[in-house]
Amino acid sequence: MVPLIGFIVLVIDLYIWVVIASAILSWLIAFNVLNTQNRFVYSVADMLYRLTEPALRPIRSIIPNLGGIDISPVILILFMLFIRDVVLLGWILPAVQPSPGL
């Protein structure tokens, strides 16, 4: 059970980095630093959009419009950190890990 929890923590960490990369790429595209006419940039942006949008869409439907500022990636990252640190590493791992010295 402990290796499974470690794998889930690793997947959460990787997904947090994907969300960060998606947010940075969206800023670079919005400020015309990167051009989506470039096929590679478009492919990377599309892949990141497809990976992050299913998790960000419900958050965007709940939070109010802040006038062009999208804080849904921040909320998603905080939620993922809560799941990783509190739920998995704080509650579940101590419950399934054998106690040393017993």
Torsion over CA: 77, 82, 83, 89 (sign): positive
Which of 11, 16, 102 is CA-nearest to residue 55? Answer: 16
In angstroms, rounded to a whole number, what is the distance separating the alpha carbons of residues 37 and 87?
Answer: 42
* Predicted TM-score of the model (pTM): 0.89
The pLDDT assigned to 102 comes to 56
Residue 101: which pLDDT band, with cuts at 50, 70 and 90?
low
Domain map (residue ranges) of the chain? 2-95
The pLDDT assigned to 10 comes to 97
- Write the pLDDT tens digit of every residue in 40-62: 999 999 999 999 999 999 999 99
Phi-psi region for residue 68, left (φ > 0), alpha (ψ -120 to 50) or beta?
left
